Amino acid sequence: MCGIAALHHPQTRPDPSTGARMLAELAHRGPDDSDHRAVGSHAWLGHTRLSIVDLDGGRQPLTGPDGWALVCNGEIYNHAELRADLGEEEFRTSSDSESALVLLRRRGPAALDLLRGMWALCAAAPDGRFIAARDRFGIKPLYWAEADGVRYFGSELRAFPAEVRPAVETFPPGCCWTPEAGLVRFADPVPDPAGLPSWEGMAPEIAEKSTREVLVDSVRRHLMADVEVGVFLSGGLDSSIVAAIAAAECAEAGTRLKTFAVGTADSPDLLAARAAAEHLGTEHHEAVFDAGRAVAAIDDVVASVESFDACLMRSAVPNWFLAELAAQHVKAVLTGEGADELFAGYRYYHHEHAADLQDELARTIGALHGLNLQRCDRVTMSYGLEARVPFLDTEVVAHAMSLPEEVKALEDGVEKAHLRRAFTGWLPDDLLWRRKAQFGTGSGAQDLLTPYWRSRVSSAELAATDAPVRTEEELAYYRVFRRHLPGIRPEAVLTRFATA
């Protein structure tokens, strides 16, 4: 995990001082190391590093024997398989990111779909070739802009120079850009289900077993690290399943999993997480916040998340305190992000999209990069903490989206019954069948934040503003957003506008 910045100009060497200033704005994403490199006469690559894999040899930019160089933000979970396929003699380090470099050198951008994991990268060769790309789900952030012939790339909006910000846009997930071909899509958010079973007519137990196996395999791979990995445990179904699998893997390895929970005193999530941790035997840590701490953190949280969406802020505030706590104990955590979009965990899916459920699930999976994934990445990286999302593994998504719609329907008013049954015996029934609460609600954040801002931002102010906001609370967040990111166009970088 890290922050990356890159510059490209087809004819003139980019200004390295501009790149250095961009990289300095991303120091929080990589507190362990920083380096940069000019490549040929057309490119500059910069990297700030959070050391997770190959602690000694994985410094970036990574280079190849032919002068290719690469900066990559994220984790490539199938790097061992790629090494075996590409040939160990091609590699200079044990870094998982080097598999992306060798793959590009050997097979070009068309092979990017072979990378399994969360990643955004920029690479360049001395002969003028350049590529920028992002994983199919957009788990790792990447933005870009073009001004006066220069292409700018960065992990966060704050990295871009003031004069360039009006041109900044979200780099689309599942796409790559080269000067020759422009922007090309290499992968869709929902993988092709070809080769997967047809579940029609099969006994439910077979599908449940398959769901369990694909998730266990994903969590096992997402534990890949040369440092300790913990779990964000909200007390809800998704994070509890991840924690249960991870705890079993740790126990088999002779270690004890660390879990982390957050909420207001005696909030539902905090109590449920405590019960799950006790059942699983984890080393459990809690962060408790109140109205004073929540409001005091707003400025930092909005600046970190780089959004003013009220729903995101309500979950980002507790996540902020959770990341602060976890970073004191581990360098990477697993989360339950993505499960609701795969298994229809939100009530509106069933009330408003019963007739087109799969299409709506696919749409929301494609929008995650600018919503929950953006919040998850930014608050954790603000503390130099890597967040991993095993539900958004390519094989898990392909499997879940291959399941018939009826498998994801409400059962006696309960969502995700299929997923719950798949993990029968892994958790106590009262936790396994606990009804869903939004994180901002279950943690207690919404009860603190929404009334606070309604009492301080008037309805008259809301009516008079031309800001793209819906509520008094959101107007308060928008003002903070504007103060920290002047010049940025919300319609170019926020999912709510892009998907309207």
81 token code pair: 């398989």
Task: Provide DSSP, 308-321.
Answer: --HHHHHHHHHHHH
Residue 63 bridge partners (DSSP): 69
Given the structure tokens 């999530």, which residue do they identify?
Answer: 269
**SS3 helix, strand, coil % of the chain, rounded to 5?**
45, 20, 35
Residue 34 confidence (pLDDT): 87
Residue 298: Cβ within 10 Å count:
19
Can you tell me whether residue 284 is helix, strand or coil? Answer: strand
CB 210 within 8 A of CB 193: no
User: Whose CA is closest to 122, among 135, 114, 133?
Assistant: 133
Which runs of consecutive H residues, i.e. helices, occur in 25-146? 79-86, 98-107
Query: Tell me: the pLDDT tens digits for 419-477?
Result: 999 999 999 999 999 887 655 455 566 777 878 888 889 999 999 999 999 999 999 99
Query: Tell me: the pLDDT tens digits for 239-255?
Result: 999 999 999 999 999 99
Query: Tell me: the pLDDT tens digits for 364-387?
Result: 999 999 999 999 999 999 999 999
**pLDDT over 90 at 321, yes or no:** yes
Residue 452 confidence (pLDDT): 83
CB 386 within 8 A of CB 333: yes
Query: Tell me: the pLDDT tens digits for 331-344?
Result: 999 999 999 999 99
CB 472 within 8 A of CB 462: yes
Single-letter amino acid, residue 417: A
Single-letter amino acid, residue 138: G
184-186-189-195 Cα dihedral, nearest 10 degrees: 150
Catalytic residue among 2, 72, 122, 175: 2
**pLDDT over 50 at 499, yes or no:** no
CB 128 within 8 A of CB 40: yes
Q: CA of 243: how far to CAs of 41, 222, 264, 356, in Å? A: 48, 12, 21, 32
d(CA 345, CA 393): 18
**What is the arithmetic mean of pLDDT over 181-191?**
95
CB 154 within 8 A of CB 22: yes
d(CA 322, CA 121): 28
d(CA 276, CA 237): 10
Domains of the chain and any CATH numbers? 2-185 (3.60.20.10), 204-498 (3.40.50.620)
Highest mean pLDDT among 12-21, 83-92, 415-424, 437-446: 415-424
The phi, psi pair for 2, rounded to 5°, reads -175, -170
d(CA 376, CA 332): 12
Residue 54 confidence (pLDDT): 57
d(CA 383, CA 322): 10
The phi, psi pair for 391, rounded to 5°, reads -65, -25
463: which residues sit within 8 A by CB, 6+ positions away?
Answer: none
Determine whether 2 is an active site residue.
Answer: yes
Single-letter amino acid, residue 104: L
Residue 500 confidence (pLDDT): 37
Residue 25: enclosing H or E segment and its boundaries? none
User: Whose CA is closest to 168, among 181, 152, 149?
Assistant: 152
